[in-house]
Amino acid sequence: MCYEEDYEEESMPLIGDPFPEFEVQTTRGKMTLPKAFSGKWFVLFSHPADFTPVCTTEFVAFQKKYAEFKSLGCELIGLSVDQVFAHIKWTEWIKDNLHVEIEFPIIADDGTVADELGIIHPGKGSNTVRAVFIVDPKGIIRAMLYYPQELGRNMAEIVRMVRGLQVSDSNKVAMPADWPNNGIVGDHVIIPPATDVETAKKRLEDKTIECFDWWLCHKKL
């Protein structure tokens, strides 16, 4: 008689999943995620390694956008598989040489967090990919981005994503491409398509919105 061993298959988290709980060591002390940011949005971003050129430009760029993130009620936290001493020395170098003080915490990961999030770069040892996780105040992952080592991130797009998700949640609308500068509807938002005949008919009669057709309607907030 054969017996199958029961096991739980591990998989990386997906959009809509709760952000996994971790106790982490950071440059600002020990933290428990996502509890440390309970009630706030936060962006966790990983970088391949300290003292590398593209990562250095990214950290300066994130810091220069930090006030804008905070104005949206959103915190930042970085991560790489490096010791906390390396993080501290690197941020000191950035302050001394580039005159930018990194104010957000950086996780010193031993590989545990990176493994569970699925962000170890294939074939690159312990280096992590340039991943971004946008997490809402309930601790739910709302968006994920992955970049290769050779391509630095666009911070303005990450700010736009946080703002867009917040607008969507508050108004039950969707964001068009390049929002708020879309080539078709400008700064308008998209109204979710009707899902029944009666609503579709009424949609075209609604004078408070603009429609190209019943399934493509938009409005200004």
Q: Which one is catalytic: 2, 55, 74, 217?
A: 55
The DSSP output letter for 74 is E
Q: Catalytic: 217?
A: no
Measured torsion, CA atoms of residues 159, 164, 170, 174, in degrees rounded to the nearest 10: -170
Report residue 150 CA to chain centroid gap.
19
Burial 121-132 (b: 16+ CB within 10 A, else e): beeeebbbbbbb
- The answer to whether 61 and 54 are in contact (CB under 8 A) is no
Q: Residue 216 — φ and ψ, nearest 5°?
A: -135, 85
Checking DSSP bridges between strand 106-108 and strand 74-80, what pairing results, if any?
A: parallel
Residue 181's identity, in one-letter code, is N
Residues labelled as active-site residues: 55
